[in-house]
Amino acid sequence: MFALPPLLPSTRAPVRSLARSLACVALIATGALVALATWYPGHCQVLLLLLPAVWSRARGRASAVAIWIGYYLAGARDIPLVCMRFFSGYGDLTRPEALMLGVSFWIAQACVLATPWAVLKPESDASATRHALCAAVATVLVTVPPLGIIGWLSPAYVASTLFPGWKAPGLVLGITAIACAASVSRGRFARQVATVLVILSLLARGVASAPVVPSRWTALDTRLGRFDQSSYASLYARTQQVQTSAQRAFSEGATVVVLPEEIVGLWRPAMGYWWRNDIQAFAAARRTLIVGMDLTASRTPLRYTDSAVVVGADHGRLDSRQPVPAALWRPSAAVSAIRGSLSQPYVTVAGKSVAFSICYEDLLWWPHWRILQQSPDVLVSLSNSWFDADLPLAHIQRQGVAAIARLSGVPLLRAVNR
């Protein structure tokens, strides 16, 4: 029998290159599948542990980062379409221009968020401790600013599934679980820690209970679409629609009503006049309205806060700690939202302490640091989703804020405009 001749050196390199390319494609596909199974249409956040596990076994930085590229591209797949709708809807860009900008954002965010995983990838023969430490550090880097400003889809969300109600310790244990996933196949100690984490997770899930929203608190979902603020006629029409919705909810027995983010747009003197009688009536009847609006901070350049404002029987305000980058938060532009302080305290409404999550904050961990340390009575989320209500992003956003509420052990009340 004739033996096949060995591959010539000139043919081995292309074969190895092809094999590496196919491996990267497979890893990108794996990351994408994890994103789909974890987030919408899937809802299994424990699968996030697969990412560091596969990452730690990959050979070379290119292979290691591929799984994260696939994960972030699939999880944030709506960015191009959202940009097209948002920027063309306000006339900032044409639809093709906005779509191309969105594609650029989509690719850039995946590369940026995958970078820590590439830089921190240990050598294949590195110790289990080094793999665990690098995975934990990378998780923190993509969860807190500056990278955390776009820190959606953080693997830290696994903490809410594993340790519901355990607040900051639960988040720390969740990051520890990520570290274990990256090192469990490399050392006995990591397997022992993983066993302890499984026991603690079963305990946490066993004793967890579903928090209950305070009685007679109501969040109103509206279908008013994009707000045209170009004329007083459109301003007044929207005001009447919002007032009618609030009055109807109060007439049905609610004592606290929550309306969506920016539902009344930029607060102007005319708005104060149109709302004056209603606010006085709410106060007299011991009723409270929580409404999303923009409040002017300076005229030139125009700076405003994206805020949740409490009126009626109670008074208070919380400004968004992170308005949507590029869409609302544009520090160098002539018009931009500004960020509220991270030290803003809870607002008291009807004797209850209230934490807020305003739109984009639903996707982030770091604006909610206080809720992981001190338990409020309720988490109120306000969102304006006229540009993405029919897209997976809207479901992913709801999953994100629900995970924050679940880890903190507080009830969630959410108002969305579509």
- Residue length of the chain: 418
Q: What is the dihedral of CA 15, 21, 26, 28, to 10 degrees?
A: 170
Q: Which helix (H) or strand (E) holds 302?
A: strand 302-312
Domain 217-417 has CATH 3.60.110.10: yes
CA distance 43 to 254: 32
Give the pLDDT of residue 255: 98
Give the residue among 295, 291, 298, 316 at the shortest CA–CA distance from 306.
295
Give the pLDDT of residue 22: 86
* Residue 63: both structure tokens together: 């292979």
Give the residue among 274, 332, 328, 275 at the shortest CA–CA distance from 306.
328
Count CB atoms within 10 A of the CB of residue 352.
15
CA distance 44 to 34: 9
CA distance 295 to 267: 6
Beta bridge partners of 292: 308
Cis peptide preceding 301, ω within 30 of 0: yes
CA distance 332 to 220: 35
Give the pLDDT of residue 1: 47
- DSSP-derived pairing of the beta strands 352-358 and 347-349: antiparallel
Q: What is the dihedral of CA 96, 99, 103, 106, to 10 degrees?
A: 170
Q: What are phi and psi of 214, to 5 degrees?
A: -50, 145
CA distance 34 to 36: 5
Give the pLDDT of residue 17: 75
Name the residue ranges covered by the structural domains of the chain: 12-206, 217-417
CA distance 261 to 275: 17
* Residue 19: both structure tokens together: 């094999």
How far is CA 182 from its chain centroid?
24
Query: What does the pLDDT profile of the chain (418 residues) look like in tens digits?
Result: 455 555 555 566 677 777 778 888 999 999 999 999 999 999 999 999 999 999 999 988 899 899 999 999 999 999 999 999 999 999 999 999 999 999 999 999 999 999 999 999 999 889 999 999 999 999 999 999 999 999 999 999 999 999 999 999 999 999 999 999 999 988 899 999 999 999 999 999 999 999 999 999 999 999 999 999 989 999 999 999 999 999 999 999 999 999 999 999 999 999 999 999 999 999 999 999 999 999 999 999 999 999 999 999 999 999 999 999 999 999 999 999 999 999 999 999 999 999 999 999 999 999 999 999 988 999 999 999 999 999 999 999 999 999 999 999 999 999 999 9
CA count, 13 A, side-chain hemisphere, 127? 5
* Distance (Å) of CA 175 to CA 55, 159, 182, 210, 300: 15, 7, 11, 24, 44
Q: Is 273 helix (H, G, I), strand (E, B) or coil?
A: helix
* Residue 245: both structure tokens together: 């919705």
Q: Is 415 helix (H, G, I), strand (E, B) or coil?
A: strand
Report yes or no: 325 and 150 within 8 Å, Cβ to Cβ.
Answer: yes
CA distance 78 to 83: 9
Give the pLDDT of residue 326: 94
What pLDDT, in 10s, does the model give residues 181-219? 999 988 899 999 999 999 999 999 999 999 999 999 999
Q: Cβ contacts of residue 206 below 8 Å, gap of 6+? A: none
Q: Cβ contacts of residue 277 below 8 Å, gap of 6+? A: none
Beta bridge partners of 381: 357, 414
Give the residue among 56, 68, 65 at the shortest CA–CA distance from 20.
65
Q: What is the DSSP string of 362-388?
A: GG-SGGGTGGGTS--SEEEEEEE-TTT
CA distance 225 to 262: 11
**Taking the CA atoms of the chain, what radius of gyration do you get in angstroms?**
24
Report yes or no: 415 and 260 within 8 Å, Cβ to Cβ.
Answer: yes
Q: What is the DSSP string of 323-371?
A: PPBTTTB-TTSSEEE-PPPTTPPPEEETTEEEEEEEGGGGG-SGGGTGG
